[in-house]
Each structure stands twice: as structure tokens, then as C-alpha cells.
Amino acid sequence: MKHVFGNKKAIVTFLLPALLIYLGVMVVPAVWSLFLAFMHGNPVRGFEFTGMKNVDRLFSDPQAGHALWFTLKYAIVISVGQIVLGYALALLYVFVLRKASTFVRTLVFFPVVVPTVAVALLFNRMFASSPQEGPVNALLGLVGLGGTDWFADGNKAFIVIVIMDLWRTMGFFAVLLYAGLIEIPEEIMESARLDGAGTWRLVRHIVLPLSMPVLLATVIFSLNASLKVFDSIVALNNGGPGYQTTPLNLLMFKTAFSFGDFGYGSTLALVITLVCLTVTLFVFRSSRRDLTKD
């Protein structure tokens, strides 16, 4: 093996094809997009360099500001929800349901494999108020609260988005965390129990610290996926009403492809990249402290 890695020709032969593909499909478009962020134009007219004009526009664009705020709000709420619910489900599988958890696990995991658009249509109908009242409004009417138009107001639409996306994804995070939990050696748990630890203390002092690495991976997964939210919101209400539930990704897509403004669209893409990078670095840094020192 050492012989192969010592041979420069072998390195070039093995790495070059992969490197070329990576350059072609990842690096070149990314660099191209970075350049576009400082340009204005479209493929017909061509592009002209406009310096910091797009960046200036970004800071004075209330829609971009709102989209960034919405993206962060969504990412925090969804990530906390995914991890808390996922962890609670994983604990349920391991400690309460034990061997019988397969059926429940399958059931909770099921929405993960359903296409996002189908889930969005389902929720659209469930929360509908017109032309037919959906089950949610019917239920609210039944208990005397009265139905509401869930999609006419940004805050209510946000609630629907959160419920939908948590329902859709919690099964995945539960399985991820479940895989971490079953790795905890039974002997440690047993000895803690013999020492008189109750369920809460067991979770707090044994399960939580020992599942920290997988929990951290979950946090990164969850934050990065939720910062890049797109399809579920497009299919549910297309970021409406108005721009009230439009995340950065959707605003970028609309700007570049619906309004034909590729330059400013790329500037928005740059913002998304920076946000994801910052969050990932932040999580990594805090994790390094946690894992190496006790």
C-alpha cells in the first residue's frame, strides 16, 4: 500500500478522473456563482461587473432580511424539535418498547420515505379551510374553537410548516439517535442501576454523555438540512402569504429563475453558503471542547 501511495504516477492516475469530475460539477459552478454575485445580467444580454452593488442591495432589501430571519427561525425551531422529538422517540424505543419497537419505528419512519410533495399536499388538505373544511378545522370546530384560514397569516402558516416538517423528518432522527443509544454497553447501565440510579439519573448521567457524538452529528445534519429548506415550503404554500414564509433558498430561486436576475440570485446563494459555513464551524468548535475535555 505504501508503495502505491509513494508512486506519483499512480496518484495522478487514480485521482485525476475524480478530481476532474469534482472540478467540473462542484468547483467551477461554485466559483462561477461567486463571480456572478458581483455581476448583473442574464445569459442573453451577457453579464457586466457591478462591484458591490448586489451586496449593497442585499443590505437594503427588506425581503432578503425577512427571508434570512425566517430561515434562522425555521432552522432553530425545526432543529430543536427534530432533536428533542427524535431523542424522546429513541429513548422510547430503547427503554420502553425495547424489542417490540420495530413496528412503532417503521410507523414513525414511514413519512421519511413519502415524497415531500405528497406530504405537502396532504397537509394542505388537512389544514384547508376552503372549499372543503380540512380535518384540523373540523376538529377545532367540534371543540368549539372555530376553524381558521391557516395559510392567510404568516405565523399560522409557520405553525403548519413546523408540524409538517417535524412529522416528516422526526422518524429519521429517531433512527439515527436510536443507533447511537443501542451502542451504549448494557454493563454500564446495569451497574448504574445496581448503584441505585433511577431512570432520570440514568438518562442524565449515563445515556446523554455516552450518546454525545451521535447527538452532535444529528445537530449538524438537522441544522444544515433545515437552513437549506426549499421543497416542502414550495409545495405547501410557495412561501406565502406574500413573502411571509419564504426562506432564503426559495428567494434565491425566485430571484434567479423567475425574475431572471442571476447576479442578485447568486449574492443570495453566497449568503446561504456563509450562514451554513458559520453554523457548521460553530457546532464543530463547540463539539471539540465537549468531547476532548470532561
Partner 1 sequence: MNLMMRTMPRRASVPIAFAAVTSLLLAGCSGGKDDAPAGGAKEFSVLVTTENTQTGKMFDDLKANQCSDAQKQLPYTLSQTPSSEMQSKVQLLGGQNALPVMYAGTQSLIAPKGDLQVSGQVLDLKETFQKLGVLDQVTPAAQSVIEQLYAGSFPTVPLQFNIEGIFYNKKIFADHNIAIPTTLGELTAAAAKLKAEGVTPFVASGKTGWTISRWLGAILYSELGPDALQKIKDKKAKLTDPQYVAAAQKLQELGKYFIDGITNLDYDTMNAQMLNGNAAMMYMGTWFLAAVNDPKQNKVGDNIGFFGVPGIKGYPANVGSPNAVNAKLYNDGVGSWLTCIAKNWGSESLKKQGTFSGFKVNTPVDSLPALTADIQKKIDNAPASVLWFEGLFTPKANNDSSANAAPLLTGAMSAKDFMTLIQSDLDAEA
Q: Are 134 and 121 in contact (CB under 8 A)?
A: no
Residue 257 CB, nearest approach to partner 1 (Å):
4
Told to check if 199 binds partner 1 by CB under 8 A, we report: no
Residue among 174 and 236 whose Cβ is closer to partner 1: 236
Residue 171 near partner 1 by CB under 8 A: no
- In the complex, least distance from residue 176 CB atom to partner 1, rounded to whole angstroms: 33
Which of 148/280 has CB closer to partner 1? 148
Based on the shown chain and the rule CB under 8 A, indicate whether residue 151 belongs to the binding site for partner 1.
yes
Q: Phi-psi category of 114—alpha, beta or left, where left has phi over 0 and alpha has psi -120 to 50?
A: beta
The grid cell for 93 is 424505543
Q: Pick from 51, 65, 135, 242 the residue near partner 1 by CB under 8 A.
A: 242
**Positions 111 through 130 that interact with partner 1 (CB under 8 A):** 124, 128-130
Binding letters toward partner 1, positions 7-46, x by CB under 8 A: -xx----------x--xx---x--xx---------xxxx-
- Among residues 25 and 76, whose Cβ is nearest to partner 1? 25
Residues that bind partner 1 (CB under 8 A): 8-9, 20, 23-24, 28, 31-32, 42-45, 124, 128-131, 149-154, 237-244, 254, 256-261
